[in-house]
A = this chain, B = another copy of it.
Amino acid sequence: MAKVAVLGYGTVGSGIVEVINTNQELIAKRVGCPVEVKYILDLRDFPGDPYENLVVHDVDVIMNDPEVEIVCEAMGGTGAAYAFTKAALSKGKSVCTSNKALVAEYGTELIELAKANKCNYLFEASCGGGIPIIRPLRTSLSPEKIVAIKGILNGTTNYILTRMEQEGADFDSVLKDAQALGYAEANPEADVEGHDACRKIAILSSLGFGKTVYYKDVYTEGITKIAMEDFAYMKQLKATIKLLGMSREVDGEYFAMVAPFVLTRENPLYNVDDVMNAILVTGNTLGDTMYYGAGAGKLPTASAVVSDVLECVLHKGIHLSSNWAPEKLALADAALAEWKFFVRVPKADEAKIQQTFGEVKMLESVKDGEAAFVTPVMSEKVYKEKAASLDVISMIRMEG
């Protein structure tokens, strides 16, 4: 019998209890013993809830119960969640979480703490919700030198961009709709400004490249400036616009960035629409593999947490080695990364385009008074120097 405590009885926490109970029998068969939720920590009571008798308000009840081997942290944030995670790991209790903010901020320290206490800090659910990506990176891709990770890592922004494309609608009106439908938060900043995707690509890059990528070092741009006119040009390019978290190694230098990108139809990420997420990982001998699924949602996220719980049950007393070392990865200046650039400028600047950028691909204008083009591949630094003489309306990087 393995006893589990769930910290936080909100969406993910209650999902964890539901997954463990719904699939009780098959879980017991797969790990060789029953897995049972012994406590649920929450400040609230839940009268009438089928698990109300498991609710405790004092975290020490959990920490001091030697029967509890595994703690699921579903509180979110970097305050109490951080303190409770440290407390659990210090006592040799493994912690499984979906809390990307905590993993991105303190992952390095918490992994080391788990190692020192022969237990595990696992966070499959922190990136891509229910999509298996952390564990494949750690195990299936273990013989690979990871050279690139590119992901649609945020469902809210992907939903907004998909609707902007399909309806020719503008950002503000789609955002309002998304908020009304519950797909976007009342305060949508963490999603639309790319902060959420930034934490996720930092976590994935730390695992992929084997050193700590700190999220604050990742250049991050959101989707608030994407206009319906930008999408209007995409048909000519047989492309779409997606918010990507991406990192890659080029000649020994590491780049990481969150930004909207133009993706052409050949890109496996092109067709990932609505709230779905996908992550494309490139290994040096394997080439591309992609992982696709629900990037959020109660049960998918909970299922990912429970997959970590079962791994802890199967590896009691064994710290599972991870490729995420404490040493910090020095990221190269994002301005040195090379792309093609999709650019819109006022009609008045049209004459200057060729003379500034050389051979560009001119697009048919979709709006009076403006011209649009695609530059050759160049570094962002060079692009900016050239573009300084133009009154740029919008610029979006092009992937691949």
Contact = CB atoms under 8 A, between A and B. Distances in A.
Interface of A: 18-20, 22-23, 26-27, 29-32, 124, 130-132, 135-136, 139-145, 210, 268, 270-271, 276, 278, 283-294, 297, 299-300, 302-304, 306-307, 309-311, 314, 321, 323
Contacts of A31: 142, 321
A289 B131 contact: yes
Contact of A136 (B140, B294, B311): B140
Contacts of A30: 142, 321, 323
B27 A143 contact: yes
B307 A140 contact: yes
Please classify the interface of chain A as helix (H, G, I), strand (E, B), loop, or mixed, using the class held by over half of its residues: mixed
Contacts of A302: 285
B300 A286 contact: yes
A19 B285 contact: yes
Contacts of A290: 278, 290-293
A30 B31 CA distance: 25
Given A285-B22, A285-B303, A288-B294, A135 B143 contact: no
Given A132-B139, A143-B309, 6 more contacts: A27-B142, A30-B321, A32-B321, A135-B140, A287-B293, A287-B297
Nearest to A313: B142
A309 B18 CA distance: 36
Contacts of A278: 290
B139 A307 contact: yes
A130 B22 contact: no
A292 B307 contact: no
A145 B300 contact: no
B284 A22 contact: yes
Among A143, A290, A309, the one with the most B-chain Cβ atoms within 10 Å of its Cβ is A143
Could you say which of A18, A130, A284, A302 has the most chain B C-beta atoms within 10 Å of its C-beta?
Answer: A130
